[in-house]
Each structure stands twice: as C-alpha cells, then as structure tokens.
C-alpha cells in the first residue's frame, strides 16, 4: 500500500555562476501517512526549506519526485498550503479579508454565504474574532501568525507545510500557538510537515522527527519516532519518561552535525602548483592498486584489461596481487598502495581501530561487489550425519573437549560476520563453542584437506574448489543468509583522497564502467578467461565458473542451481556507497568486541562512506545518481535491522560479547598521519 505522501529519492543540485554545482539534497526518501506530523530538523543550510519548497511545488527536484495521494507534485496547488515565518499577510487587508482572499480563490464554487461561514469559523478557531476587522499593522506577531494558520487551514489543504512558523515569536506566544496548532491539527486530521531548529518544539508537535545532515549533499541522517501519546500538553510532555532520552538523542545528533559543518568549511582544496597536476587535469596518473585473487576482483582486472583506467586519464595503473587481507591494509596505510579492493568492514576497522590495527583514516567511496560468498564444511563432517546447525551443536556438546576450527579471511570481513551470525542463530557461540582462525582465501582448500579446519566462509572460487575436489560441501550461500550484502569496497586513505580528489573521481568512474561491464552476463565467459591468467586468479575458467557464469553445485547431491545474483557489481545501485550496511557491520563488529560501537555513528558513517566522489563520477558517466534506499532490512532468521535504532539491534542478541559503546573522536583520527598496524 502506497503512502499518503512520498518523497521518492529526491536530489536537488544548484548550478553555480562559475560553472560548478552545489548538491543541496541527496537521495531524500520519506513516506508520510495521512494525519501524521513530521518535523524536519537540522542546522541552517541543510536543505530543510528546500525540501519543503519541493513538496509545496515551489521548487523542482533535480532527480526523484514527490507523490501526494498517487499524483506527482509538479507545481503549487491548494492541496498543499505553506505557512512561512514572516506571515505573508497583505497589509492593506483586514484579518477577515486576508483569509477570505484564500477561501474565495480556492473555494470559488461554493456559495458566498458558505465561504463567509468558513472564514468566520477559522477566525474563531484561532481566537481572533475580536480582531477580525483589524489590519496586520494593528496586530502582534503572535496574532499575525494565527491569521496565517487560519488562512492556511481555511482552504482545507491535504498537507500543511510550516517553515519555522514560530521562529520570530517570544517564548510565551510561541508556546500558546504550539498548543493551538496541535489542537487544530488533531481536530482537522491534517497532515503536517514542519521545519524547525527547536528540539523542544519538534518533540512537542511531532510524530516523527527527520534529522538531516549538514550540506552540501544533505541526506536523512536519522529518523526519531516520538512515542509520547496524544493529546499532548507541554508540561505533560516534559514529564514523560521518554522526553529527555529523545531530546538528548536530537541534541547529540545536532552536535555531531555541528562538528561536521565546521569540518566541511575547513577542508583545504589542493593547490595546482607547477607539476602538481598530471595529464587530463588529474593530480596523479600512476596508481598502484591491490587485490586478492578472488572471482569478485573482476572490476579491477577488467578496468585494466578493457582500458577503462586509461579512458579516464589513469595511464599507468599497476595491479598488485596480495597474499592476504592484512597485506592490503598495510599497503594502503603505509602508502605503497594508492587504493585496493577491501573486504567490506576493513575501512571501518582501520578507521576506528581494532585489536590488531591502530586507527588509520580510511574511506570507502564505492562498493565493488555484492554477495559471492558461501559457508563450506568438510565432507567428512557432513558424511558423519552433521548436516545442519542443530546436529552440529549436538556434536559439539557430545565432546566438549574437542576443538572445532573454522576459517575466515579477516575479522572485519563479511565472511567473519556472516559466519558468526549463522552459527549464533543455531545457538553456537563462535568464540566459546569453537575456534575461528584467519586463513588467506587461496589457502582455505589446502587447510580443509589437511584437516586443520572443519570448514570456512570465503568467496569463490574456493568453495566450489572444495566441492570439485570432493572434500567439502556448501552449507549455505550468502543468498540464503544475507542477499545483497556489501562484499568488497574500494578503500583509500582519506589523506590520499584529499590530495587527489580529481584522481579519485576518475578512479571511481573507471571502476563504475568496469562494474557495469562485469554485470553483463554476456561478458562473463570472457571475464573468466582473463581472470584465469597467472597474474590474476590463476585458476582454470571451469573452476571459477560456478555462480559467476555457470550453475552452482553445493556438493549435496542435488541438481546444480542457477544463482543469477550470486555475484553482483552494478545493477540495482550495487556500486553506490552503502552507509546502512556499514552501520550493520559496525554493530556486528561491536557485538563480537572487534571494535567499539561509535555513539556518534551518523558522523562516523558519513565520514567513512562519503558520497560526493561517487555522485560526481556517476554524473560524469551520465549514470543515475540515486543512492541506496535508506530503510530497515530483515536477516534470514527474521531479525530486523533498523538504521535509526542500531543499539536496539545490538542489544537484542542473546549470544554476544560485552559490546562497548564509545564516542569516537573522529576528527582526531582523521587529522592523524599514517598509522601502521600493530606489530607490522
């Protein structure tokens, strides 16, 4: 069922006099129900009024749109009434005449007597009958705003849009008008969207508070549900048990964005000194990029082989095959690699610091692949009747002294997080009931064959290789467990990104073209032939084909499956930065005490997953710029992850470590120079 009012992936980009652009709003999506009161909250310049004007039809989005009761909003209309901060009354008309002007214009089909009755009813509604024949110059500020409210409601709008309607009023007048507005809206069942800076006003009036991040590229940072029952009265609201917790949440968000706004104003633009700008206007064209030999390294390989790097001015790109994910992180941290394909959580762990890594400011400006993993355990275990998690748990309990070991590629990888989640869903504690070991992907099969591990979670082709060798069976793919998850990202240090902004955009543009090429299944056979070269993955195409090009055999005796979404690179906005899943990864890493969960998570995800370079590259290529949907998702066991309340998700799990929630001093981390891994 569609919402009463829907703001659907709205971007607003303004052209600047110098030929540049300013991105005011980025990917704003909201669904508002009839009779709901929604407040837009944020610092000045975050695009609140711009969004309100788009809903009103006074401005047009650069992309996306607004739908009201199934009809697209393209222009102003009487179904939406705007009440501005400055009242907008005609000074030569009385209170009655100002309201009558609106009613006569919109309701001209009604008889004069009925129109007069509507005017009088709304004057009485706001308590101004005694001043009905006075002019605006004879009224106080509060009375003028009441006239504006009466005029807005008199035309019976479907949506009332309020742009800081009480901002110019004194506290006493403002409080009285807020109470009146609540009463009127509840009686009229009108849907309201209000812009404000005032957190107390937002709490008093709203059903939901939509908090916007600072511009440029302002987006929805957090949505807060106000669970205070109606009807509301100011003193009762203040005394409600949830009041101060909700208020503190909003103030904390605004303080995060205050720091962000200050930082954005201080970002230095590299100076184009002699010799600093290379060919094509790029700061650097000789790049060293790292990868691990897996099927989903295809975008980097094909960007090189199909000339996409060269097309975008990156004339000399060298791809470096690395032995482990730790080598990838070390290379980006010490600058020997300009960037790399990283496991999804690595930029988060590198930035926030983990048990084996000191904080190193790292960003993930695009996603390189989604899905592509599986959980494999030994054929010997399976043939012994251990065919599901329930049987495995019983097997562990029957012999608690026996240590079972499973391999994963890196603590911050989706392989580790999905494997842990899967085991815990079956009542198996991945730290106490068995042992998890870090094993580089190419060594998984050999360790399984030698009996060093009982199973593993890894990307292809190493699951299919175990099946083909007869030593393993695939118990689950990530299409079973977490379809559409982020798998690999482009990782670069923030210092590098700031020194080479044009190069970063060119790099993303080249990889975007490669991602699109890799998602065309007509190219998959050719891609496998390229990946089979010794400098890349170095395995025969038929070994790498399952899931990527051919059918997928789990080794369980059934017919091989056609898993068309097993490797995803481009379709359905796959390459767009995905801060919602980054937030889930931080919650899961905190669950297992790999990192602390950042209390200022909005600020952290915004910093680590910047959208600006990706959007610029997409516009350069003429590709859609809509970002991933910001919405809750449900995991395979029915657990819901809501990006507005990540701590509720973190606290909901029975099997977990002592999760830490800490304020992350993000500016201190990002102002530091290179920090090498501990012990490196």
- Please give the pLDDT value at position 483: 94
Last residue of a domain, one of 429, 457, 481: 481
What band does 110 get if pLDDT is binned at 50, 70 and 90?
confident
Domain at 212, CATH number: 3.40.50.300
What band does 168 get if pLDDT is binned at 50, 70 and 90?
low
CB-based contact 71:5 (threshold 8 Å): no
User: Sheet containing 316-321: which strands, arranged edge to edge?
Assistant: 316-321, 286-291, 339-343, 486-493, 362-371, 567-568
pLDDT digits (tens, 9 = 90+) for 633-668: 999 999 999 999 999 999 999 999 998 999 888 777
Same domain, yes or no, for 196 and 74? Answer: yes
- Give yes or no for residue 401 having a pLDDT over 70: yes
Instruction: Spell out the residues 6+ positions from residue 197 whose beta carbon is closer than 8 angstroms to its own.
Output: 41, 42, 43, 44, 164, 167
CB-based contact 258:501 (threshold 8 Å): no
In a domain, residue 181? The reply is no
- Give yes or no for residue 671 having a pLDDT over 80: no
Same domain, yes or no, for 302 and 289? Answer: yes
CB-based contact 43:55 (threshold 8 Å): no
Question: What is the 3 state secondary structure string of 38-53?
Answer: EEEECCCCCCHHHHHH
Per-residue pLDDT, averaged over 70-95, amounts to 87
CB-based contact 158:190 (threshold 8 Å): yes
**3-state DSSP call for residue 65?**
strand
In a domain, residue 237? The reply is yes
Per-residue pLDDT, averaged over 542-546, amounts to 91
Per-residue pLDDT, averaged over 219-245, amounts to 91
User: Comparing 602 with 677, which gets the higher pLDDT?
Assistant: 602
In a domain, residue 470? The reply is yes
Token duo for residue 287: 């790049």
Can you spell out the DSSP letters for 441-473?
GGGHHHHHHHTS-SEEEEETTHHHHHHHTTSEE
Of the candidate ranges 10-14, 108-112, 345-349, the one whose mean pLDDT is the lowest: 108-112
253-267, 413-427, 614-628, range with greatest mean pLDDT: 413-427
In a domain, residue 223? The reply is yes
333: buried, middle or exposed (CB in 10 Å: 19+, 13-18, 0-12)? Answer: buried
Cα end-to-end distance, the chain, whole Å: 55
pLDDT digits (tens, 9 = 90+) for 325-381: 999 999 999 999 999 999 999 999 999 887 666 788 999 999 999 999 999 999 999
Same domain, yes or no, for 608 and 496? Answer: yes
Angle at 579 between CA 328 and CA 518, to 5 degrees: 60
- Give yes or no for residue 670 having a pLDDT over 70: no
Last residue of a domain, one of 445, 464, 481: 481
Q: What percent of the chain has pLDDT over 90?
A: 64
Residue-averaged pLDDT of the chain: 89
Same domain, yes or no, for 378 and 476? Answer: yes
pLDDT digits (tens, 9 = 90+) for 269-313: 443 333 334 556 899 999 999 999 999 999 999 999 999 999 999
- Please give the pLDDT value at position 236: 87
- Please give the pLDDT value at position 680: 36
Same domain, yes or no, for 476 and 501? Answer: no
Same domain, yes or no, for 400 and 512? Answer: no
Kindly list the distances between the CA atom of residue 335 and the CA atoms of 322, 328, 651, in Å, as whole numbers in the listed order. Answer: 15, 11, 38
pLDDT digits (tens, 9 = 90+) for 479-519: 999 999 999 999 999 999 999 999 999 999 999 999 999 99
CB-based contact 550:316 (threshold 8 Å): no
Same domain, yes or no, for 349 and 395? Answer: no
What band does 210 get if pLDDT is binned at 50, 70 and 90?
very high
Burial 365-402 (b: 16+ CB within 10 A, else e): bbbbbbbbbbbbbbbebbeeebeebeebbeebeeeeee
Which residue in this structure is represented by tokens 């099927």?
Answer: 295
In a domain, residue 667? The reply is yes
Per-residue pLDDT, averaged over 404-409, amounts to 95
- Please give the pLDDT value at position 661: 92
> DSSP character for 573?
T
Same domain, yes or no, for 444 and 547? Answer: no
Same domain, yes or no, for 473 and 389? Answer: yes
In a domain, residue 653? The reply is no
Same domain, yes or no, for 313 and 407? Answer: no
> DSSP character for 582?
H
Domain at 588, CATH number: 3.40.190.10
Q: In terms of DSSP H, where are the helices of 93-135? A: 95-106, 112-125
Burial 262-273 (b: 16+ CB within 10 A, else e): ebeeeeeeeeee
> DSSP character for 546?
B
- Please give the pLDDT value at position 1: 62
- Please give the pLDDT value at position 144: 84
CB-based contact 39:181 (threshold 8 Å): no
Closest CA to 81 of 4, 144, 11, 165: 165
Same domain, yes or no, for 476 and 590? Answer: no
Instruction: Spell out the residues 6+ positions from residue 475 whose beta carbon is closer than 8 angstroms to its own.
Output: 374, 375, 376, 377, 388, 455, 554
- Domain range for 665: 282-370+486-627+659-671
User: Which neighbouring-strand residues pair with 437?
Assistant: 407
Closest CA to 201 of 229, 146, 162: 162
Can you spell out the DSSP letters for 172-226?
HHHHHHHHHHHHHHHHHT-EEEEEES-HHHHHHH-SEEEEEPPSSSB-EEEEEE-
- Please give the pLDDT value at position 674: 39
Q: Other C-beta atoms within 10 Å of 458: how many?
A: 29
pLDDT digits (tens, 9 = 90+) for 118-163: 888 888 877 888 998 999 889 888 788 788 888 887 888 889 898 8
What pTM was estimated for this model as a whole? Answer: 0.86
| DSSP H or E stretch at residue 325 | helix 325-334
- Please give the pLDDT value at position 145: 79
C-alpha to C-alpha distance for 476 and 10, rounded to whole angstroms: 37
Name the pairing type of β-strands 37-41 and 5-15. Answer: unpaired
Same domain, yes or no, for 299 and 387? Answer: no
Sign of the C-alpha dihedral computed for residues 20, 24, 30 and 33 taken in this order:
negative
- Please give the pLDDT value at position 261: 74
In a domain, residue 235? The reply is yes
C-alpha to C-alpha distance for 222 and 602, rounded to whole angstroms: 8
- Give yes or no for residue 185 having a pLDDT over 90: no
Work out how many domains the chain is built from and give that number. Answer: 3
- Give yes or no for residue 572 having a pLDDT over 70: yes
pLDDT digits (tens, 9 = 90+) for 573-623: 999 999 999 999 999 999 999 999 999 999 999 899 998 899 899 989 998
C-alpha to C-alpha distance for 417 and 457, rounded to whole angstroms: 10
Instruction: Spell out the residues 6+ positions from residue 680 whose beta carbon is closer than 8 angstroms to its own.
Output: 330
Last residue of a domain, one of 230, 263, 296: 263
In a domain, residue 680? The reply is no
Q: What phi and psi, each to the nearest 5 degrees, are found at residue 368?
A: -95, -25
């Amino acid at each position: 069922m569609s919402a009463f009012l829907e703001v659907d992936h709205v971007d607003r980009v303004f052209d600047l006099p110098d030929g540049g652009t300013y991105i005011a709003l980025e990917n704003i999506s909201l669904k508002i129900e009839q009779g709901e009161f929604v407040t837009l909250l944020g610092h000045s310049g975050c695009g609140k009024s711009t969004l309100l004007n788009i809903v009103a039809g006074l401005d047009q989005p650069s992309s996306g749109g607004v739908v009201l009761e199934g009809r697209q909003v393209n222009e102003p209309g009487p179904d939406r009434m705007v009440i501005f901060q400055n009242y907008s009354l005609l000074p030569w008309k009385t209170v009655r005449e100002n309201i009558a002007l609106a009613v006569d214009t919109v309701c001209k089909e009604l008889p004069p007597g009925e129109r007069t009755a509507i005017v009088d009813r709304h004057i009485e509604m706001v308590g101004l009958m005694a001043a009905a024949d006075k002019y605006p110059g004879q009224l106080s500020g509060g009375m003028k705003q009441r006239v504006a409210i009466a005029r807005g409601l008199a035309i019976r709008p479907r949506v009332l849009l309020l742009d800081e309607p009480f901002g110019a009023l004194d506290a006493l007048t403002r409080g009285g008008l807020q109470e009146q507005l609540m009463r009127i809206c509840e009686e009229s069942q009108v849907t309201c969207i209000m812009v404000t800076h005032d957190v107390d006003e937002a709490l008093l009036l709203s059903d939901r508070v939509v908090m916007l991040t600072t511009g440029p590229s302002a987006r929805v940072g957090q949505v807060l549900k106000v669970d205070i029952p109606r009807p509301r009265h100011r003193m009762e609201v203040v005394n409600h048990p949830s009041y101060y917790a909700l208020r503190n949440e909003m103030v904390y968000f605004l303080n995060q964005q205050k720091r962000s706004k200050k930082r954005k104003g201080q970002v230095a633009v590299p100076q184009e000194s002699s010799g600093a700008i290379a060919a094509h206007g790029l700061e650097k064209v000789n790049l060293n990029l790292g990868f691990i030999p897996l099927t989903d390294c295809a975008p980097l390989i094909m960007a090189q082989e199909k000339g996409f790097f060269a097309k975008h001015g990156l004339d000399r790109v060298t791809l470096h095959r690395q032995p482990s994910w730790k080598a990838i992180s070390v290379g980006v941290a010490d600058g020997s690699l300009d960037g790399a394909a990283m496991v999804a959580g690595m930029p988060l762990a590198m930035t926030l610091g983990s048990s084996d890594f000191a904080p190193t400011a790292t960003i993930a400006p695009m996603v390189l692949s989604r899905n592509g993993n599986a959980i494999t355990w030994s054929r010997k275990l399976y043939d012994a009747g251990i065919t599901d998690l329930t049987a495995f748990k019983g097997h562990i309990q029957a012999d608690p002294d026996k240590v079972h070991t499973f391999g994963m590629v890196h603590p911050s990888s989706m392989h580790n997080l999905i494997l842990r989640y899967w085991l815990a869903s079956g009542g198996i504690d991945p730290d106490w009931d068995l042992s998890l070991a870090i094993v580089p992907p190419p060594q998984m099969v050999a360790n399984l064959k030698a009996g060093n591990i009982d199973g593993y979670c890894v990307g292809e082709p190493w699951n299919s290789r175990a099946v083909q060798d007869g030593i393993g069976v695939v118990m689950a793919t990530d299409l079973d467990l977490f379809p559409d998850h982020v798998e690999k990202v482009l990782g670069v240090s923030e210092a590098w990104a700031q020194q080479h902004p044009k190069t970063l955009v060119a790099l993303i543009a080249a990889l975007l073209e490669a991602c699109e090429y890799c998602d065309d299944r007509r190219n998959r056979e050719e891609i496998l032939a390229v990946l089979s070269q010794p400098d890349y993955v170095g395995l025969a195409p038929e070994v790498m084909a399952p899931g990527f090009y051919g059918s997928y055999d789990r080794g369980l005796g059934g017919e091989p499956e056609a898993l068309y979404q097993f490797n995803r690179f481009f379709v359905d906005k796959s390459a767009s930065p995905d801060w919602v899943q980054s937030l889930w990864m931080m919650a899961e890493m905190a669950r297992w005490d790999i990192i602390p969960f950042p209390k200022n998570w909005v600020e952290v995800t915004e910093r680590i997953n910047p959208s600006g370079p990706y959007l610029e590259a997409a516009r350069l290529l003429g590709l859609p710029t809509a970002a991933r949907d910001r919405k809750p998702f449900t995991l395979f066991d029915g657990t819901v992850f809501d990006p507005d309340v990540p701590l509720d998700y973190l606290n909901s799990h029975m099997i977990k470590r002592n999760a830490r929630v800490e304020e992350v001093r993000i500016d201190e981390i990002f102002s530091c120079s290179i920090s090498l891994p501990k012990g490196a």
